Chains A and B, each alone.
Chain A
Amino acid sequence: ELKVEQNPLFLSMQEGKNYTIYCNYSTTSDRLYWYRQDPGKSLESLFVLLSNGAVKQEGRLMASLDTKARLSTLHITAAVHDLSATYFCAVDIQRAQKLVFGQGTRLTINP
């Protein structure tokens, strides 16, 4: 059974700081997704990582994928309050059949 584990699960940080969220998964997959969820809201797609070594950046967020290590990272640079949300990674197994989500990382950025 595929397991997807994120850490940390809770992260409180100050504006302007850098931090990394880690996503480990237990079986072979070359497709990994990052989503953002604001409280009471839906899931917003942030990044799709489709191959080993893939790196995507959008604003202060950068995601990478190492399929050999079965690890993805979401790096936050110079955090701002607007990035406060829960971030989920999800692994695509069986291509377009289903996503298996991590537990989510609740990120709080304090002024």
Chain B
Amino acid sequence: EPEVTQTPSHQVTQMGQEVILRCVPISNHLYFYWYRQILGQKVEFLVSFYNNEISEKSEIFDDQFSVERPDGSNFTLKIRSTKLEDSAMYFCAGSRGSETQYFGPGTRLLVL
């Protein structure tokens, strides 16, 4: 059964550094998402992406964040200048439309 994959599984970075989180969605999915989950808290929507453009973004997704699907398979989330409060688990997800979103295993980001 196809799965969403994410790399790296863990990332430790210094405050102010740029990080890129990578995801390979399931190949027949059309919609792509990033969510984050601060330790012990609920899952929060960051951004949705369809047809090579952002279709919806949350208040969390400010100018420090960007997404790309550079080659038709990878889907990346970039944080330009990380803050302490960006420490969280970041989940990529995908779907074919108004159906179940399938989540990747997550990248645990720690900003020091």
What is the interface of chain A, defined by CB distance below 8 A to chain B?
31, 33, 35, 41-45, 48, 88, 90, 92, 94-104
Contact = CB atoms under 8 A, between A and B. Distances in A.
Contacts of B99: 48, 96
Interface of B: 31, 33, 35, 41-45, 48, 50, 55-56, 58, 91, 95, 97-106
Contacts of A99: 33, 35, 43, 45, 101
Contact of A42 (B48, B55, B100, B104): B104
A92 B98 contact: yes
Given A42-B91, A42-B106, A96-B95, A101 B100 contact: no
Nearest to A48: B100
B103 A42 contact: yes
Nearest to A97: B56
Contacts of B105: 41-42
Nearest to A90: B43
A102 B41 CA distance: 10
A54 B43 CA distance: 24
A45 B102 contact: yes
A7 to B, nearest CB: 13
11 contacts: A42-B104, A42-B105, A48-B100, A88-B42, A92-B98, A96-B48, A96-B98, A97-B56, A98-B48, A98-B58, A101-B44
B49 to A, nearest CB: 10
Contacts of B45: 98-101
Pick from A42, A48, A99, A101 the residue with the most CB of B within 10 Å: A42
A33 B101 CA distance: 9
A52 to B, nearest CB: 16
Contact of B100 (A33, A41, A100, A102): A33
B106 to A, nearest CB: 5
Nearest to B108: A40
A1 to B, nearest CB: 10
A94 to B, nearest CB: 7
